[in-house]
Structure 1
Amino acid sequence: MVPSKLANAFRNMISPETRDTVGRLFMTDGRRHWKGYALSFVFMGIMAGTTSGLAYIMGDVINKIFVQQNSAAVWIMSGIVLALSVIKGFATYGQAVTLARVGNRIVADNQKRVLERLMLQDLSYFARTQTAELMMRFNAGAEGARNVLNLIITSLGRDLLSVIGLTAVMIIQDPFMAVIGLIVMPIAVGGVRSLIRKVQKIFTREFHSAIQIMGQSLEAFQGIRTIKSFNLEPSVRFRLDDRIDALEKASNRMVRAQSQSGPLMEALGGVAVGLVIMYAGYSVLHGGRTPGEFFSVITALLLSYEPAKRLARLNIDLTGHLLAARMLFQILDLKPTEQDPPGTPVLELAPKGGRIEFNDVYFGYRPEEPVLKGLSFVAEAGKTTALVGLSGGGKSTVMNLIERFYDISSGTIAVDGQKLDQVTRQSVREAVAFVSQDVFLFAGTVYENILAGRLGATYEEVVEAARAAHAHDFISGFVNGYDTAVGEHGAQLSGGQRQRIAIARAFLKNAPILLLDEATAALDSESEAEVQKALRTLQMHRTTLVIAHRLQTVVNADRICVIEDGRVVESGRHDELIARRGRYFGFHQLQFTGQQELLSA
């Protein structure tokens, strides 16, 4: 009767969502690592057996040594207790190491799977998802999967087996005293049931508060220059302090909720021990029972108290880890948005090819807000085509679409007659080198950042690329040369140095198509002159698409396209467009007049 009530109580405590999460974990990570879990289960079985043996032997210790005063029993009983304790110690070590190794492997495997799944998402996913949230899912999700499995395995292997073994000792010694002890478990399980939903709600709020704090912290650290420039330190501290205080309050509520099961278990445990002492003492004094049986049952009852308490609050302890595991599964269940169908052909460029054609292309980052509205133009192979126009017209979007960071709504984009949406993304990106004004450098050395252009290149090839980018001289001037650390996002280099390292990376890639997005916009005159030299060399014999607001940088382009409101409104060479007196002429006059006014001021 009692076991069935206990089972029903556990079953009612577990929600369908929890059962699904736990079941999936056992069918994936649990199945992959079943040998390790089986070995740890064996160790935990030995631990439970030796613990039960120690409780049982206490009866003989009391009876033979203290009641019968058998001197030989002192050595025998001491040896048995010592042997059981040593075996338990080795089993505890084996269980801990085995479970930790399996758990660490689960964390590593899940982090690899999350990283692989995220790398298959397009840029729109990262644009709408906070970096802090991704980091929390990447780290806490993988650890949550491990902790759920470890908690359940240890609860079954260590705690449940210990309770079963110790209960068996109590039943052997005195069945009635065992019944008194077993009354505690169903009551305790029922008592903590009401706490589970409260803990789940609090932990969910706590988890999202932690994401917000991490997100705002990253934003503050990455934007520290702007924060200091505008004296925003008090405002930033106020916002973060408010979030941190809210998280502290949620954490305190969590502690209070989790701790409510403790007094219940303490009270019930005390009641059970008191009843056992009352019954056992009376039986020893008036019922002919031996003191050994009494001490054996008391020892078993006291040893079973902690594992029984852990079993009773298992669902509460699992709450946070289950939420983290579900966060992990949400990433793993994402459908790849950048995975080419099997058999997709690769982009094959003709000799001296790379002709890019946009034909009536429509696209918007959000469906209701189109950016390109029937854009059509041609960038001839081996020539330089410039895109000019007001900000927001769609120029940078053109670059994104050529590299297939996004897929168009309608129309076609073709390279040498091959539609980009019908060839693999990898082959498209192998054919393109990109340099923008917002240079991203990895937190490594100068050498490693240039090498990213073509992994596997030789040291000599890296140096040659740096020479072509007019970067070798300043790199050689560093104390550590090419082994100089660039800092996070290249913070330890100047803007011109970062730009030339990015150009060296493009040289090393040696792609037939070159995309330049305002590559000199943020540089001073001296740095711009050096970068322009490097870019002119890089553009030779390549299909080059240039975005520029300063028209003097594109006057020598083979073709200039003026883009407004997602369409090409004018195209031609510089002198042709000036002669037409159209939109390009207006931009040119505006810039020229502004420069003349600046010089005369």
Structure 2
Amino acid sequence: MLPPKMANAFRNIISAETRDTVSRLFIQDGRRHWKGYAISFLFMGIMAGTTSGLAYLMGDVINRIFVEQNSNAIWILSGAVVALSVIKGFSAYGQAVALAKVGNRIVADNQKRVLDRLLMQDVTYFSGSHTAEIMMRFNTGAQAARNVLNLIITSLGRDLLSVIGLTLVMIIQDPFMAMIGFVVMPIAIGGVRSLIRKVQKIFSREFHSAIQIMTESIDAFQGIRTIKSFTLEDVQRERIFERIDKMEKASNRMMRAQSQSGPLMEALGGVAIGLVVMYAGWGVLHGGRTPGEFFSVITALLLCYEPAKRLARLNIDLTTHLMGARMLFAILDRPATEADAPGTPELAIKGGGVVFDEVVFSYREGEPVLRGLSFVAEPGQTTALVGPSGGGKSTVMNLLERFYEVESGVITIDGQNIDSVTRHSLRKAIGFVSQDVFLFTGTVRENIAAGRPGATEEEIIAAARSAHAHDFIMGFEGGYDSRVGERGTQLSGGQRQRIAIARAFLKDAPILLLDEATAALDSESEAEVQKALNELQRNRTTLVIAHRLQTVINADKICVIEKGRVVESGRHDELVAKRGRYFTFHQLQFAGQQERLSA
């Protein structure tokens, strides 16, 4: 039990929010790992006991060896000191290993929980948050949970038990001297109260500064080609340097605030030791007390100083970690926006026919992108979506994969409303190849295998052959084990596209979405990729987005989309004969090509 003054001081400086956060951490993580914490706590108790024992033995060491001059006591007391020190050393090792093991497990568990929760968020969450902020919360939050629990367990098991044990030694030797410690401790704890809010504000600014630095650094690294092309090195350097300077100043303010408790503790500690020395020294010289009692109390007080100082700083040290823990809970408490209701049926594919019926959708309120869009993509046929930029073509694909939810209207596949089936079964039935190919950091094999995890080597190679990728892959020194670099930067555009197509071949989904899959390629690469795409489209329901009409003139149906509606649909020759919007696009593109050829 803490003395009433000390307990009240702790309650006064620990806010309700802090208590709630700590309670949740103990319920969520501490309770599951109580055995590990109990072992660590036991070792810390042994450490506190041996520390107290060493302080108590100092009285016998001084009295029996130096006062009584008992030669046998030299061996007995020396052996006891060595034994206690060895036990303390092994206990320190045991508690450090036990605490680290539990702490690492908590970090791993929380990272898994956070990742699971993030993967259950919809695309809107990620489009509204920078990668740097998500990563900061992912790492800082998981580690903060461990740090809070470890700090509290260490403070209670090592520091508080040591203070209690050493205080008992002082009480046994001289109760009045122990009272000096009881007076000083609440003053020291109360002295740090004014620092708590200051540290919280500074840490909040420091965290957001760190996010800004990481955000702009990631943008600079990922956009290095643009930066160099526009000679923006100096601009980016100055901007990020300014952020770093602000971060440095915030860190210095944080350190000053955290260190302000040091002078207070040093001064109060010096006062306590001075008073004890004065009282104990007078007692030895004039009060009939033994030198052993004097040295035992002084040793206990000196050993008590560091753990008492750490206890006084506990709330300040907890502040930064608790803010990180709250960031963890902010993610864990987010509703899983892509969680399917229990019992939701899976999509049953028959032919793969897709129907959009009066679909309305907006990314931002009051700015509709689709305004009652309707069309039918027949099973096993290719339907092309053409029209001016911003008309809603890519939105069609986003809605078909349920990256976003429609505001009104219905999208069906083989007569099944896609809102009423599981997202997993829906997306499993759809293959996707876009202009902006994303390759994972890893090998060529791993990126193709992402189309169907668990695929055999023969199936991966067969998919690569179908995508006209096998030959260039085997031209690499590492073959299928060649690294592709971050986002595939070690490959050409055509190579990235064909690996993405191989991935789609391996998935073998009945519905295929192609979003400008050849738009960024040169003529030679486009020809190779188009061969692969023609094979991939065979016997699949295919939706194609294209700005270059020559890539879709053989489509079974072409839908012209403008301002969120289908304004024309039919085959290429039918639309040209109508001389409507498609004919206008056709004339503009092919007239431009004729001019370039004649030039």
TM bucket normalised to smaller: over 0.9
Name the CA distance, whole Å, in 2 between partners of 1:534 and 1:498: 13
Counterpart code for 2:598: S
* Identity fraction in percent: 78
Partner of 2:173: 173
Partner of 1:541: 539
Name the CA distance, whole Å, in 2 between partners of 1:6 and 1:98: 30
Name the CA distance, whole Å, in 1 between partners of 2:344 and 2:179: 69
The two structures have a TM-score, normalised by structure 2, of: 0.99
Partner of 1:252: 252
Partner of 2:334: 334
Structure 2 counterpart of 1:454, from 428, 452, 455 = 452
1:343 and 2:343 equivalent? Answer: yes
Q: Would the aligned equivalents of 1:355 and 1:543 in 2 still touch at CA under 8 Å? A: yes
Partner of 2:187: 187
1:109 and 2:103 equivalent? Answer: no
Partner of 2:301: 301
Partner of 2:356: 358
Q: Would the aligned equivalents of 1:6 and 1:185 in 2 still touch at CA under 8 Å? A: yes
Partner of 2:118: 118
Name the CA distance, whole Å, in 2 between partners of 1:600 and 1:64: 113
Counterpart code for 1:211: I
Partner of 1:268: 268
Question: Which consecutive residues of structure 2, in runs of 5 or more, have no partner in the other structure?
Answer: none
Name the CA distance, whole Å, in 2 between partners of 1:397 and 1:412: 14
**CA shift for structure 1 position 368:** 2.3
Partner of 2:423: 425
**CA shift for structure 1 position 488:** 0.5
CA offsets, 1:259-293, max 9 Å, x none? 10000000010011111111111110000000000
**CA shift for structure 1 position 57:** 0.4
The SS at the match of 2:367 is coil
Name the CA distance, whole Å, in 2 between partners of 1:82 and 1:266: 30
Counterpart code for 2:375: F
**CA shift for structure 1 position 37:** 0.5
Q: Would the aligned equivalents of 1:560 and 1:572 in 2 still touch at CA under 8 Å? A: yes
Name the CA distance, whole Å, in 2 between partners of 1:182 and 1:5: 9
Partner of 2:65: 65
Counterpart code for 1:430: K
Name the CA distance, whole Å, in 1 between partners of 2:592 and 2:302: 88
Name the CA distance, whole Å, in 2 between partners of 1:255 and 1:511: 57
Partner of 1:508: 506
Partner of 1:589: 587
1:381 and 2:379 equivalent? Answer: yes
1:414 and 2:418 equivalent? Answer: no
Name the CA distance, whole Å, in 1 between partners of 2:330 and 2:367: 28
**CA shift for structure 1 position 182:** 2.3
Counterpart code for 2:416: Q
1:560 and 2:583 equivalent? Answer: no
Q: Would the aligned equivalents of 1:359 and 1:376 in 2 still touch at CA under 8 Å? A: yes
Name the CA distance, whole Å, in 1 between partners of 2:108 and 2:366: 41
Name the CA distance, whole Å, in 2 between partners of 1:390 and 1:3: 76
Give the 5 Å matches for 1:21-420.
21-350=21-350, 353-420=351-418
**CA shift for structure 1 position 504:** 0.4
Counterpart code for 1:28: Q
Over 2 Å off, 4+ runs? none
CA offsets, 1:94-121, max 9 Å, x none? 0000000000000000000000000100
**CA shift for structure 1 position 6:** 1.3
Name the CA distance, whole Å, in 2 between partners of 1:416 and 1:28: 45
Counterpart code for 1:260: Q
Q: Would the aligned equivalents of 1:181 and 1:276 in 2 still touch at CA under 8 Å? A: no
Name the CA distance, whole Å, in 2 between partners of 1:307 and 1:600: 87
CA offsets, 1:515-547, max 9 Å, x none? 000000000000000000000011010000000
CA offsets, 1:292-318, max 9 Å, x none? 000000000000000000000100001
Give the 5 Å matches for 1:471-510.
471-510=469-508
Counterpart code for 1:374: G
Name the CA distance, whole Å, in 2 between partners of 1:16 and 1:370: 45
Q: Given the superposition, is the C-alpha separation of residues 361 and 172 from structure 1 closer, same or farther in structure 2, using an over 3 Å criterion?
A: same
CA offsets, 1:452-492, max 9 Å, x none? 10111110111111111000111111111111110110000
CA offsets, 1:537-585, max 9 Å, x none? 1101000000000000000000000001111011011111111111111
Root-mean-square deviation over aligned CA pairs: 0.9
Partner of 2:464: 466
Partner of 1:525: 523
The SS at the match of 1:32 is coil
The SS at the match of 1:479 is coil
Partner of 2:598: 600
Q: How many residues align?
A: 599
Name the CA distance, whole Å, in 1 between partners of 2:506 and 2:167: 72
Q: Would the aligned equivalents of 1:439 and 1:502 in 2 still touch at CA under 8 Å? A: yes
Q: Would the aligned equivalents of 1:357 and 1:377 in 2 still touch at CA under 8 Å? A: yes
Counterpart code for 2:528: E
The SS at the match of 2:391 is coil
CA offsets, 1:231-277, max 9 Å, x none? 00000001100000000000000010011000000001001111111
Name the CA distance, whole Å, in 2 between partners of 1:71 and 1:369: 94
Q: Would the aligned equivalents of 1:181 and 1:273 in 2 still touch at CA under 8 Å? A: no
The SS at the match of 1:365 is strand
**CA shift for structure 1 position 5:** 1.7
The SS at the match of 2:192 is helix
**CA shift for structure 1 position 55:** 0.3
Q: Would the aligned equivalents of 1:184 and 1:268 in 2 still touch at CA under 8 Å? A: yes
1:435 and 2:401 equivalent? Answer: no
The SS at the match of 1:390 is coil
Counterpart code for 1:65: I
Name the CA distance, whole Å, in 2 between partners of 1:224 and 1:335: 36
The two structures have a TM-score, normalised by structure 1, of: 0.99
CA offsets, 1:338-360, max 9 Å, x none? 1110111010011xx00000000
**CA shift for structure 1 position 181:** 2.5
